């Protein structure tokens, strides 16, 4: 039962994490969500790790991440340009 139930609950788990789970769950739905708790925790940790990597400058900001975080496309373009400029200046000033 385990892996099949886990796989069948992945989309449901993502939806519940984003929008909340319905108040009344049948047993099957509850089990699918329950079996996906470790997956949801891993995805949250990965998202947090990605955000920290971007914040400290160890990775480039993915364009879709920036566009989703900004209010306008122009703001996203400015953020990308600012970040890329900072990365270039950081490399130029690095010892070695």
pLDDT tens string 35-68: 888 888 888 888 788 778 777 777 766 777 777 7
Sketch the domain layout of the chain as residue ranges.
1-57, 60-96
What percent of the chain stands above pLDDT 70? 83
32 has pLDDT over 60? yes
pLDDT of residue 61: 65
Average pLDDT, the chain: 77
Cα 77 to Cα 67: distance, rounded to the nearest angstrom: 8
pLDDT of residue 1: 47
pLDDT of residue 21: 75
b/e per residue 18-41 (b: at least 16 CB within 10 A): eeeeeeeeeeebebbbebbeeeee
pLDDT of residue 41: 82
CB 36 within 8 A of CB 66: no
């Amino acid at each position: 039962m385990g892996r099949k139930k886990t796989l069948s609950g992945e989309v449901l788990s993502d939806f519940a994490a984003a929008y909340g789970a319905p108040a009344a769950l049948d047993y099957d739905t509850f089990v699918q969500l329950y079996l996906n708790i470790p997956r949801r925790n891993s995805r949250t940790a990965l998202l947090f790790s990605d955000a920290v990597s971007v914040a400290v400058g160890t990775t480039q900001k993915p364009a879709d991440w920036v566009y989703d975080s900004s209010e306008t496309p122009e703001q996203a373009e400015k953020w990308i340009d600012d970040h890329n400029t900072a990365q270039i200046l950081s490399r130029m000033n690095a010892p070695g």
